Amino acid sequence: MDNREGIIRATMELIQEKGERIGDITVREICRRAKVGLGLVNYHFGNKDKLLEVCVERMVNEIVDRFHSIQGETAGGTARERLETLGNLTFSFLFEHEAVSKISILADMGVPKEDDNTHRTYLAYLPLVSACRPDWDQRTLERKTFALIVTMQQSFLRHKVIRQLYGTDLTVREEREAFHRAVLSDLLEG
């Protein structure tokens, strides 16, 4: 394993250990864990924030890949039920891993890439949205699926504003699921 990969693995371990306290991770701690000199973090990544973005992207990629297997596990329900289940799982992940999720979404917004986590999530949702609305042409399907993903991301990032404006507390599972059902209705039926 080269130094770069060792730094990534050490940082991912620290992220998992620290949970929501990602900001507490220091470059010294990373380097000590990876058994490398302090200058290598800057050499390979530029700074700690860029390193954290790389690690979070890798972690979220693994979760998005799991969404594909989850789709198979929920195969017994209707397409709408499977889409709702996947959305509830996505929202739950966002709120249960708030620090990681925020880094991932903001990194994708700041520097969109063809294979970033937002796009990978979009690709996981596309077949389910298509199954819900087989009457939509490809452009409509793509646009509405993109709108669903962006709505979920923005709802997560702005959940305090949503609570103030609409009285919906997205940190509460039941309220989050009701909100998600309403968003699905708006996008699929509206």
pLDDT tens digit sequence for 96-130 = 888 888 888 998 999 898 888 899 889 989 999 99
10 Cα distance to chain centroid: 21
pLDDT band at 1 (very low <50, low <70, confident <90, very high): low
Residue 190 neighbours by CB distance under 10 Å = 8
Q: Is 2 left (phi over 0), alpha (psi -120 to 50) or beta?
A: beta
| Phi, psi values for residue 161, rounded to 5° | -70, -40
Alpha-carbon distance values, 115 to 22, 41, 87, 107, 141 (Å) = 24, 24, 20, 12, 19
pLDDT at 72: 59
Measured CA to CA, the distance from residue 90 to residue 106 in angstroms comes to 16
Helices 48-73, 79-96: axis angle to 10 degrees equals 150
pLDDT at 63: 73
pLDDT at 104: 87
Is 128 in contact with 105 (CB distance < 8 Å)? no
Q: Is the pLDDT of residue 182 over 80?
A: yes
Arithmetic mean of pLDDT, 123-141: 95
pLDDT band at 142 (very low <50, low <70, confident <90, very high): very high
pLDDT at 9: 92
Is 3 in contact with 9 (CB distance < 8 Å)? no
pLDDT tens digit sequence for 2-19 = 899 999 999 988 888 887
pLDDT, mean over the chain: 89
Measured CA to CA, the distance from residue 125 to residue 129 in angstroms comes to 6
Least confident piece of the model among 26-35, 91-100, 127-136, 141-150: 91-100
Residue 149 neighbours by CB distance under 10 Å = 20
> What's the pTM?
0.79
Arithmetic mean of pLDDT, 21-31: 90
pLDDT tens digit sequence for 37-91 = 989 999 999 999 889 888 888 887 777 677 666 655 556 788 899 899 889 988 9
